[in-house]
Chains A and B, each alone.
Chain A
Amino acid sequence: MGISRRDLLQRSAGLGALLATTAGGLRISVAQEAEEIRFGTLCPITRAGSIFGPGAQKAMEFAAADVNELGGLLGGRKIRLYSEDSQSDPDAGVRAAKKLIEVNQVQTVLGTWSSGVTMAVAPIVMESKVVNMNFSGTTDLRDMKKDEWIWPVAGSNLAYGEMMGTYAIQQGYKNASFMAFNNPSGLTLGEEFKRVFEAAGGTCNVIVYNPNQPSYRAELTKALSTNPEVIALGSYLPDTTIILKEWYALGEPTKWIGPIWAVSPALVDAVGAEAAEGIVSIGAVPNFDSPAYAAFKERYEKATGQPVLANPFSAMGYDMVVTCALAIEAAKSAVAEEFRKKIRAVASPPGKKVYTIKEALDAIRAGEEIDYEGVGGNMNFDETGEAKPYFGYWIAENGKLDFKGPVKG
Chain B
Amino acid sequence: MISYLIAIAIIGLIYVLLGLALNLQWGQTGLINFGHVASFAIGAYTSGLLSLTGLPIPLAMAAGALLAGLAAWPLGRLTVTLKEDYLAITAIGFSEVVRSVLENEMWLTRGPSGVPGIPSLFAGLPATERGAAILAALVIAAAIVFLLLERLTRAPFGRALRAIRDNEMAAAALGKNIVSFKTRSLVLGAAIAGLAGAFYAHYLTFVSPEQFTPEVTFNVWIAVIVGGSGSNLGTILGTFLLILFLEGTRFLNDLGLALDGSQLGALRFMLIGAALVLCMLFRPSGLLPPSTRSG
A133-157 Cβ-contact flags toward B at 8 Å (1 or 0):
0000010100010000000000000
Instruction: Verify A2–B291 contact, CB threshold 8 A.
Output: yes
Determine whether A373 belongs to the interface, using a CB cutoff of 8 Å to chain B: no
- How many residues on the A side are at the interface (Cβ–Cβ under 8 A)? 55
Selected contact of A21 from candidates B113, B210, B237, B255, CB within 8 Å: B255
Q: How far is the CA of A142 from the CA of B241 in the complex (A)?
A: 39
A201-234 Cβ-contact flags toward B at 8 Å (1 or 0):
0000000001000000000000000000000000
Which listed segment binds A: B17-25, B70-78, B138-146, B242-250? B242-250
Selected contact of B291 from candidates A3, A85, A91, CB within 8 Å: A3
> Nearest chain-B residue to A44 (Cβ)?
B265
Determine whether A184 belongs to the interface, using a CB cutoff of 8 Å to chain B: yes
Determine whether A164 belongs to the interface, using a CB cutoff of 8 Å to chain B: no
Classify the secondary structure of B's interface with A: helix
| Also in contact, A2 and B261, with CB within 8 A (given A98-B7, A184-B113) | no
> Nearest chain-B residue to A141 (Cβ)?
B116
Q: How far is the CA of A54 from the CA of B255 in the complex (A)?
A: 21
Q: How far is the CA of A28 from the CA of B100 in the complex (A)?
A: 45
A159-192 Cβ-contact flags toward B at 8 Å (1 or 0):
0000000000000000000000011100100000
CB contacts under 8 Å to B, within A3-38, are: 3, 11, 15, 18-19, 21-22, 24-26, 28-30
Instruction: Verify B247–A99 contact, CB threshold 8 A.
Output: yes
Q: How far is the CA of A56 from the CA of B241 in the complex (A)?
A: 32
Nearest chain B CB to A41 CB, angstrom units:
7
- How many residues on the B side are at the interface (Cβ–Cβ under 8 A)? 51
Determine whether B53 belongs to the interface, using a CB cutoff of 8 Å to chain A: no
Q: How far is the CA of A91 from the CA of B288 in the complex (A)?
A: 28
Please indicate the chain B residues that have their CB under 8 angstroms from the CB of A30 in the complex: 1
Please indicate the chain A residues that have their CB under 8 angstroms from the CB of B287 in the complex: 11
Nearest chain A CB to B231 CB, angstrom units:
8
Nearest chain A CB to B61 CB, angstrom units:
19
Instruction: Verify A123–B206 contact, CB threshold 8 A.
Output: yes
Instruction: Verify A102–B254 contact, CB threshold 8 A.
Output: no
Nearest chain A CB to B213 CB, angstrom units:
8
Selected contact of A182 from candidates B104, B205, B237, B290, CB within 8 Å: B104
Please indicate the chain B residues that have their CB under 8 angstroms from the CB of A85 in the complex: 261, 264-265, 268
A-B contact pairs, 12 of them (CB 8 A): A1-B233, A2-B293, A3-B291, A22-B248, A28-B255, A46-B269, A57-B262, A91-B11, A95-B247, A98-B4, A123-B205, A183-B111
- Going nearest first, the 8 A-B pairs with the smallest beta carbon separation are A45-B265, A102-B4, A2-B291, A54-B262, A25-B251, A183-B112, A85-B265, A83-B261
Known: A103-B4, A115-B113. 16 other contacts (CB 8 A): A19-B244, A25-B251, A54-B262, A85-B265, A90-B211, A91-B11, A95-B246, A101-B4, A119-B114, A120-B206, A120-B211, A138-B113, A182-B103, A182-B112, A183-B103, A187-B112
